[in-house]
Amino acid sequence: MIKEKIKEYLFKKYFVSFSKSGDDIQLRQLIKNRKPGTYVDIGCWDPRKASNTYFFYLRGWRGICIDPNPELAERYKKVRPSDTFINCAIGQTQGNLKYYMLDEHNSSMNTFDLDFLKGHHLEDKIKKTLSIPLQNLTTILDKHLASDERLDFFDIDVEGLDLEVLKSNDWEKYRPAVIVIETNLSLRDEMNSDVVKYLEAQDYSLQAKTVINNNLGNLFLVNNRPV
């Protein structure tokens, strides 16, 4: 426990990044308000490793962390007890989805998309398959986000199901200042992608894309409406 507290102190003091490519530091620049607010981390994976939200958690932000992997619940309870962890998938309808869990080394690529695993030759890495409940994002926010909370950003990493997640939100009711989405298209293709076009229709504008590996990176979109 003492070692953990020392690490947290150093992480905060020296502005250590936990993202894959410094995305959390860039996100801090886009969030003008330094007073802690709220984030929603969809496809959150590990509470620290490759996280775009742990930097903010250390500085007083609090969030709703959503992931279909039930094994993460205890990790979040231990490392980020002030966050709300929800074990589900996000989509426009109710029901259940088949979720493919890989071995620990490949667990960041757990997915609902079997074709995705086939395309990356990962079928032999599947350790188990679960049936995971599918929930609507608006319903979750209605339940877990207080009316006086400032919604600073959505962080979305859902292996190609981004549009389903986005379409399940009520954009008149819940408008984060910034939306971060991991994608693997070229920047030229991103500008005309369904995700960017959809968010532009919700009055968001594409500001940048970070680079993780080749075309893989995070899109940053900013709310055009005054808060």
Mean per-residue pLDDT pooled into runs of 10, the chain (227 residues): 70 82 94 92 95 96 96 95 97 91 86 86 92 95 94 92 95 97 91 96 96 92 90
Q: Where are the domains of the chain?
A: 17-90+137-223
| 8 Å CB contact between 210 and 26 | yes
| 8 Å CB contact between 218 and 52 | yes
Give the β-pairing of 126-135 and 95-102.
antiparallel
pLDDT (0 to 100) of residue 133: 94
pLDDT (0 to 100) of residue 33: 82
Please name which of 52, 22, 55, 32 lies closest in space to residue 40, comparing C-alpha atoms.
Answer: 52
pLDDT (0 to 100) of residue 9: 65
Based on its alpha-carbon atoms, the radius of gyration of the chain, rounded to whole angstroms, reads 17
pLDDT (0 to 100) of residue 94: 85
Helix ranges (DSSP H) in 91-177 = 114-119, 137-144, 162-167
| Residue 208 to residue 218: CA distance in whole angstroms | 8
pLDDT (0 to 100) of residue 8: 73
| 8 Å CB contact between 219 and 26 | no
pLDDT (0 to 100) of residue 1: 67
pLDDT (0 to 100) of residue 13: 66
pLDDT (0 to 100) of residue 115: 86
Please name which of 53, 59, 57, 99 lies closest in space to residue 82, comparing C-alpha atoms.
Answer: 57
Output the pTM of the full model: 0.91
pLDDT (0 to 100) of residue 16: 87
| Residue 19 to residue 42: CA distance in whole angstroms | 15
CATH 3.40.640.10 describes domain 17-90+137-223 = no
